[in-house]
Structure 1
Amino acid sequence: MLGTGSALPSHVVTNDEVGAPAGVDHEWIHSRTGIRRRRWAKPDEATSDLAAAAGRAALEAAGVRGGELSLVIVATSTPDSPQPPTASTVADALGAGFGTTAFDVNAVCSGFVFALSTAERMLQGTGGYGLVVGADVYSRILDPRDRRSTILFGDGAGAVVVGPARGTGRLHSTRLAGFAADRELIQVPAGGSRLPASPQTLRDGLHYFTMNGREVRTFVAEKVAPAIGAFLDDNGVSPGDVDHFVPHQANGRMVEDLAGRVGIPADRMRATFEEYGNTGSASVPVTLDDAARAGALKDGDLILLAGFGGGMAMGLTLLTW
């Protein structure tokens, strides 16, 4: 991992603003989620705009030019459009050369870790450089009256450049897992081939994001937490060995509970949920970049990335900075 970057919209949305249509206020939201505010894209901002901005920042940090990229992967469940892949737009915006492989990955909030694993395996032994971006604009698919979801989400993008190892940095191990029987806990019912968008689906609000928050919390506690413990054990690592835990910023209270269940000290969990909310597939790379730019990450530090969410899916990566 050679450089990180992130991009957050300039438009700040407070808890009182987002809570009013849902019938809740700042105190209600903050006490249950730890979130104080989030950023939402402006009407003329799309997922690719944020992804390209984060990519530029990561390329600059890595000292790599867009034309040197052989691979661009964008993890998103809110693409600019069904076709072409958002990664194609990002690759072009960054000046990637003719022939650069560019494609999207949709594993919802686990997407960044899935994309990172894919890039690492595709680039292994090639000496090439890849850009991996997690980017989402969830504000476009939220029901403003649904207090279970609309209060949680912000928009953003985070990116990393991967390539030949420099110094101590390297990826050690990744584990990807799916829990498909639970897939309906998080969904956007309409807009695909099974239920195409129509006047009726719009009237019924089926193009909105929906989530069974109570069951998602149970999923994280009963399936994600034990899986993280097993992953660390299989790699000969104890929770106390982890210098930085970078989880998906699903809900502040949920990830605080997750860290406790895994046994990772609270002061080693990196968090951005208070300022940015849940930015979907962007939350892991945004939080990683936040820690990197704050100077919190030192050469040789052991970092655990944990993405989890819709699918249901989970992605874990252990790396040395």
Structure 2
Amino acid sequence: MIDVTVTVSLADVSSYRPGEPISADYFTRFHETGDSGSAVMFNPPRFRHHVRPGETPADMAERAIAPMLERQGANMLDEVDILIVHTQLPDTWFVGNGGEIAARFGIVPEWLIDLHNGGCASFIHAIKLAREILQGTRARSALIVNIANTAGRVFDQDQVRPLAQAAIPGDGAGVAWLVKSDRSPLLDIETRHLPQYAGDMTSVAVPPRQHWEAGPGQLRIGFTEAGISKVLSRGNEIVPEVARAVCDRIGVATDQVDLLVTNQPNRKFLQNWRDSLGLPAERHPDTFEECGNLFGAGMPLTFDHAVTSGLVPDGSLVVFAGFAHAGDFAAAAALRWDGRLSSRDGSC
């Protein structure tokens, strides 16, 4: 049974950016410019990072958690009973990379979940799952791992790289640690599944084939102008909607949010979202120009960057919000940030 009197908190967050920054001209020298929806959707960031040759999701997870372990000490892993992993492009068929990551961390969690849906908003989806388990069981803490690893694999293929869509994605990883504590508490979470849009994002190849079939054409995301227009319209609406729903329930106006952290598909979404919620750019940090679209890893990596850069004073009201794929999932979560907790000093 869920015990809602148990307060769950975001204790710490850390992240990893692979390799050296790759500039936009690595892609854009192949591109034609235009004023279409594609030009808005795929206006490239200045830089992004790509996974290194041979770098696995477990490697990325290990490198992402390293700063957290340096702060907290390796003993924090002894109380991790929940591991939730979202890998954008799993190396391991069928089962995902959660087991390999658990082994790399040296833990045997009672709850090990490979979260294959939630996409760019999977961080919030995982937070909700972890909170439910922590409130309903004797589990002590949870680790959430988000890995974005398609930029250097899918979008750097020689047939895909010339496409406008290839310049947007970046690779990276983020790790969050959730505990039962009154410090940095989660205040509210909103998740909305919109399954009617679940089939709107597809993979395509020329000549056509299924992803499991051998063939000469390299797989990429199947965007059309009509599809892009629909995604832009949905995304502009549903992210502010879920953010408002959370703010309404905790009794604050959206323009009172101290920090908004979203996924970062492109500049236009970022601008439209903060304008809709009445927030200035300085309260909506992103890493788009340095990292591109990090998909599910965008929120934890950007929040880690904001905290490390001193942009999140203790007591800040933080709202995470985002949507996935072509709009089949949207979510938001609010928390009162009181700084990183420490397992070493007993504060958690």
Check whether TM > 0.5: yes
**1:130-186 superposed Cα distances (whole Å, 9 cap, x missing partner):** 111111102222222321x211100000111111215x3100111111222222343
CA distance in 1, matches of 2:254, 2:19: 36
Of all paired residues, the percent bearing the same amino acid is 25
Contact 1:12 1:37 in 2 (8 A): yes
Larger helix fraction of residues:
1
2:161 aligns with one of 124, 140, 144: 144
2:90 aligns with one of 50, 74, 79: 79
**Structure 2: gaps spanning 5 or more residues:** 1-9, 338-348
CA distance in 2, matches of 1:141, 1:315: 26
What residue number does 2:12 align with? Answer: 3
CA distance in 2, matches of 1:61, 1:308: 31
Aligned residues: 310
When residues 284 and 217 of structure 1 are mapped into structure 2, their CA distance, relative to the original with a 3 A threshold, is same
Structure 2 residue 143 is matched with structure 1 residue 128: no
2:191 aligns with one of 164, 168, 176: 176
1:254 aligns with one of 255, 265, 269: 269
CA distance in 2, matches of 1:291, 1:55: 17
How far the C-alpha of 1:232 sits from its partner, in A, is 1.7
When residues 298 and 182 of structure 1 are mapped into structure 2, their CA distance, relative to the original with a 3 A threshold, is same
Aligned-partner residue type, residue 104 of structure 2 = A
**1:277-310 superposed Cα distances (whole Å, 9 cap, x missing partner):** 0111000000010011112222211000012121
Aligned partner of residue 237 in structure 1, secondary structure: coil
Structure 1 length-normalised TM: 0.88
**1:10-64 superposed Cα distances (whole Å, 9 cap, x missing partner):** 1321100022344469xx9899747110000111112222122212323444445
CA distance in 1, matches of 2:257, 2:44: 23
Contact 2:239 2:331 in 1 (8 A): no
How far the C-alpha of 1:127 sits from its partner, in A, is 5.6
1:154 aligns with one of 152, 164, 170: 170
What residue number does 1:19 align with? Answer: 28
What residue number does 1:210 align with? Answer: 222
What residue number does 1:233 align with? Answer: 248
Aligned-partner residue type, residue 239 of structure 1 = T
**1:73-126 superposed Cα distances (whole Å, 9 cap, x missing partner):** 112331122243312111111111x35432211211111110111111111263
Contact 1:76 1:111 in 2 (8 A): no
Structure 2 residue 54 is matched with structure 1 residue 41: no
Structure 2 residue 301 is matched with structure 1 residue 286: yes
CA distance in 2, matches of 1:261, 1:102: 37
CA distance in 2, matches of 1:94, 1:2: 18
Aligned-partner residue type, residue 308 of structure 1 = F
Aligned-partner residue type, residue 141 of structure 1 = V
Aligned partner of residue 48 in structure 1, secondary structure: helix
2:292 aligns with one of 272, 277, 290: 277
Aligned-partner residue type, residue 94 of structure 1 = F
Aligned-partner residue type, residue 26 of structure 2 = E
When residues 117 and 62 of structure 1 are mapped into structure 2, their CA distance, relative to the original with a 3 A threshold, is farther
Structure 2 length-normalised TM: 0.81
Q: Whose Rg is larger?
A: 2
CA distance in 2, matches of 1:251, 1:264: 17
When residues 99 and 239 of structure 1 are mapped into structure 2, their CA distance, relative to the original with a 3 A threshold, is closer
What residue number does 1:105 align with? Answer: 115
> RMSD of the TM alignment (CA)?
2.6
Aligned partner of residue 297 in structure 1, secondary structure: coil
Contact 1:2 1:62 in 2 (8 A): no
Aligned partner of residue 167 in structure 2, secondary structure: coil
Aligned-partner residue type, residue 67 of structure 2 = A
CA distance in 2, matches of 1:92, 1:266: 40
CA distance in 1, matches of 2:41, 2:239: 23
